[in-house]
Amino acid sequence: MAGEARRRRLRALLKKAHLAPTDLTSFEQAFMHESAAREHRKDSNERLEFLGDAVVGLAAAGWLFEEHPKASEGWLTARKAAIVRDSALAATAMRLGFADLIELGSGLARAGGAENKTILADAFEAFVGALYRRYGEAKARRFVLEQHMALVDLSDEGVTDPKSLLQALAQQRYRKLPIYRDRSTGTPQEPHFVSEVVLKDRVLGSGAGRSKKLAQLQAASEALETLLARARKGKRNKT
């Protein structure tokens, strides 16, 4: 998208955030993918994405805490994961037209990178980071709430299964993916599987079931409880 057309779209985005657009430089940077930044020798959106990630997470946690005062930590964690996961952020970014705004390196652009979920999610977080820097936390949080969180399905059916939730939590806290160790202990007539989930060389949970999937789901659920218990213990030790 050409320069002036891009700026018109950026101004329209800022109006959605109830803001009067001024200097658009930082907002243009929010859509500068690292592949384009290398080609044009400009700053990428990575630092803004880092900042926006924290703002989105805080906005989600704060809203859930206030709106659901009786909810358990596990319930809140599941809903927060649903709000901040890449697929949800990418869906919002696509709806807002971010795919047309993202600047990519020539090779990635030809490969359709503007529709990549991770690239879209990163751009959304970078835009929120730019909002935070320019207009402050309250304005950035309002944009996240109105344009993203209000449209995320937080019902039991819409929230991710334990495996997906564990993956999101592990990436968020440890920047690592959980690994499943599976083995079959049954027979073709009576199948039985056992699964262990490992994170950073430690077994966090185990499960068993008539299928590998069921065993992994049970192991993931146990691992989630382990991580939540560890987090609660860490909070108590700090007080």
Residue whose pair of structure tokens reads 């959605």 in the numeric block: 16
For residue 28, indicate whether it is catalytic: no
DSSP label of 200: T
Q: Which residue has the tokens 């989600």?
A: 60
Give the whole-angstrom CA distance, residue 231 versus residue 238: 11
- Identified catalytic residue from 53, 86, 122, 222: 53
Q: Kindly list the distances between the CA atom of residue 110 and the CA atoms of 69, 101, 102, 103, in Å, as whole numbers in the listed order.
A: 48, 15, 13, 12
Task: Tell me, yes or no, if 125 is annotated catalytic.
Answer: yes
Q: Which residue has the tokens 């059916």?
A: 157
In sequence order, what are the residues at sequence separation of 6 or more whose Cβ sits closer than 8 angstroms to the Cβ of residue 74?
224, 225, 228
Question: How far apart are the C-alpha atoms of 16 and 175, rounded to whole Å?
Answer: 33
CA dist., res. 162 & res. 239, Å (int) = 30
Q: Which candidate in 49, 122, 125, 196 is catalytic?
A: 125
- Give the residue numbers annotated as catalytic, written as ranges: 53, 125
